Structure 1
């Protein structure tokens, strides 16, 4: 009789329940972005819990190196993704709908050594010659040597803000770097790339796609209030939402009404001068009006307030205040992590309802109990409940609660142990799994079969209940 376990229409399909496992990055693909047996087993393990919807990790739409993250920028990825889809269907007994999150991101470099930055990467200009006390006749090599000889604070004073950032954090591209042709041409390129990727996803058997319009990545940066592009794709609300609507239109034209197309977006960027919930609600209403099938709401996770990385590492967008709001821990101020983002999804839901009462809004943020999830639905905070870290702590928790085994749920303790692994690009696990392995080096025979991954190795996601 609960709201949580009632069906809901999500675009082209009906989800069996209002339970949602959002995209998480497991760092288990190959460096070429292929779906490995470990990746496939990861999603199969979440499917064991029978969530209404399971979203596959942020998957790159370009055919470019991006580390051990899934990619979908070429037809060669379709067979591996099809195996993933088939495995999830088998493990969930056909009860879980499967989406894949499509992402584009701009270049970010690692923080360089000072000598390397000044000696190789800095574009020397007359401004630097003057700061180094040299004449116009000084060679570029002489300028670089003179800059390196300056005290560090004097060197920083010789650099403009973007150069200082490149030295102290690593160079990072922005969507408003209009002097760069590949940045200027993004509005011409991205709709086609997203449409191509969505077509491949449907060919692989996914029920639909989730367009990644959140956090520190390209599409969220177009929506950001800090987007100052002057070509009609920035500055005003109408300009900032324009590319997102063009991407949506291109994807819909390619996959038709038979596939679900939704997005993940930010309710609040949590950075100075960033987008707030009023903007987000307006954007979401525009999405609903133009045919978006669902809106999944997140918060923060931006580069602008990230902590300074060590030399040789890249900035990570979940280390500053906006990142902590994205993945709050038990140390955060009241009410702690529990339901922290629901006011955002409620405001966005109200705006969407005014346009289309059918489009579901997905809420998230520290939801780890049936009571919290049910209350969010009953009180109108959202239409579906997403839980990432709780699902990671216990992939079976949705099924346990549904079948009266709620007391056996392994509760997330919100320490962000998993986030720390993600930050280091290591295979993501849960602190509770690792503790369990230390306490229980062997498993009971009745559990052992389900704990094997596709390649016969013992899975880190070993279940704790007997099917």
Structure 2
């Protein structure tokens, strides 16, 4: 086996992953309009689980009772049975994969162009946000998930409190220790409820990638603080912020993916491979120098097993997060393990999937045969070429 580091086991808390490939959270648009699981979303995750990934972070489940069209929700107990069906479906095809759920509290937006800011929250709203995350963790465990990822990256609520763009003038804004108060309160309350044996991870921005945003200097401090608190892993991302998004068209909501920060979150074809690796490198170094062994996860245009292996060998990260690469070819892990890396259908970083989400369409891949909601089984380059030729002939 060529990629011995990539396919070595690693633990997050008391949970041991069979390899170091994580399917990071990616919105699919396959949930119902009110946030329930569908047969299509179960089929998506079953197809990806068949490919041999070490762990799956099921896409962001909203902790708010507010409607968030076509995103999963976990805001009340009525969603638990649906999510349990999703977990059972994944385990049916791959008993070894570890399954987690990302939970998220979002800032509201409107077609008028209005967007909610952290300064809009009243002090009495803060404990409610904490309680919503705690209840989401309890429901995730009841549904059979083996770990939870608290979403503290991108344009969402907890990330916006952490960001330098946080314009609050009270104890939850200003200095970094104040901006960390709500995210820390969420983590500590969830830890108290779930106990030390249930893994809790966080996803943070290594950089916000806009002028008034958090930089790597602040992110290393954030990472060290959460490592000291006992978080079981830190997943590093970046960008996707409202602050530098262009003014939306009339009757359209603001889009945090539309500006430079959005382009940096999901690197396009013109960005170098491993766009965000330097963020994980510095964060991991800071965490290790502080005396913590917290696993660091990195994602962002990592397309080949050889590149992933080098990242781990260089101690830039401990786990490789794959998102678009696994959407394109769910069999990426099994092909790599079988020394068939040349058979991987490589993501082109065209961001068709990302733009589908922005259009509130069902997310699929430009490399699949037209009309497919999932990669074919089996899936190889020959299939991809045949599909392309067929479309050209039409």
Question: Considering the TM-score relative to the shorter chain, is it more than 0.5?
Answer: yes
Structure 2 residue runs of 5 or longer lacking an equivalent are 381-394
Alignment map for 1:377-388 (pairs within 5 Å): 377-388=312-323
1:461 aligns with 2:375: yes
Q: Distance in 1 between matches of 2:130 and 2:290?
A: 24
Question: What root-mean-square deviation, in Å, do the aligned CA atoms of Structure 1 and Structure 2 show?
Answer: 1.5
Match of 1:275 in 2: 214
Counterpart pick for 1:345 among 277, 280, 283: 280
Match of 1:226 in 2: 165
Aligned-pair CA distance for 1:461: 2.6
Match of 1:259 in 2: 198
Q: Distance in 1 between matches of 2:13 and 2:171?
A: 30
Q: Distance in 1 between matches of 2:31 and 2:14?
A: 29
**Contact 2:114–2:254 under 8 Å retained in 1:** no
Q: Distance in 1 between matches of 2:16 and 2:188?
A: 22
Alignment map for 1:285-304 (pairs within 5 Å): 285-304=224-243
Mark the CA change 1:208 to 1:356 in structure 2 (over 3 Å): closer, same or farther: farther
1:320 aligns with 2:269: no
Aligned-pair CA distance for 1:465: 4.3
- TM-score after normalising by structure 2: 0.93
After superposition, the C-alpha distances for 1:164-198 in whole angstroms (9 at most, x for unaligned) are xxxxxx11111023xxxx54333221111101000
Match of 1:126 in 2: none
Partner SS state of residue 323, structure 1: helix
Q: Distance in 2 between matches of 1:276 and 1:57?
A: 26
Q: Distance in 2 between matches of 1:401 and 1:171?
A: 46
Partner SS state of residue 286, structure 1: helix
Match of 2:384 in 1: none
Q: Distance in 2 between matches of 1:230 and 1:11?
A: 37
Moved over 2 A (4+): 182-187, 354-358, 458-461, 463-466
Counterpart pick for 1:421 among 340, 352, 356: 356
Aligned-pair CA distance for 1:11: 1.4
Aligned-pair CA distance for 1:356: 4.4
**Contact 2:228–2:292 under 8 Å retained in 1:** no
Match of 2:149 in 1: 210
Q: Distance in 2 between matches of 1:285 and 1:403?
A: 37
Counterpart pick for 1:53 among 52, 55, 74: 55
1:192 aligns with 2:131: yes
Partner SS state of residue 151, structure 2: strand
Counterpart pick for 2:299 among 361, 364, 387: 364
After superposition, the C-alpha distances for 1:212-256 in whole angstroms (9 at most, x for unaligned) are 000001000000012132221110011011111111111011111
Q: Distance in 2 between matches of 1:318 and 1:374?
A: 29
Number of aligned residue pairs: give it.
Answer: 378
Match of 2:388 in 1: none
Match of 1:117 in 2: none
Q: Distance in 2 between matches of 1:337 and 1:362?
A: 19
**Contact 1:337–1:365 under 8 Å retained in 2:** no
Q: Distance in 2 between matches of 1:228 and 1:315?
A: 19
Aligned-pair CA distance for 1:409: 0.5
Aligned-pair CA distance for 1:65: 1.0
Q: Distance in 1 between matches of 2:11 and 2:292?
A: 11
Counterpart pick for 1:240 among 134, 157, 179: 179
Q: Distance in 2 between matches of 1:353 and 1:294?
A: 13
Match of 1:20 in 2: 22
Partner SS state of residue 75, structure 2: coil
**Contact 2:25–2:102 under 8 Å retained in 1:** yes
**Contact 1:288–1:356 under 8 Å retained in 2:** no
Match of 2:114 in 1: 171
After superposition, the C-alpha distances for 1:388-423 in whole angstroms (9 at most, x for unaligned) are 111111011111111222221100011111111111
Q: Distance in 2 between matches of 1:437 and 1:408?
A: 21
**Contact 2:328–2:345 under 8 Å retained in 1:** yes
Q: Distance in 2 between matches of 1:459 and 1:344?
A: 33
- TM-score after normalising by structure 1: 0.79
After superposition, the C-alpha distances for 1:75-129 in whole angstroms (9 at most, x for unaligned) are 111101001111111112x121111110001211113xxxxxxxxxxxxxxxxxx
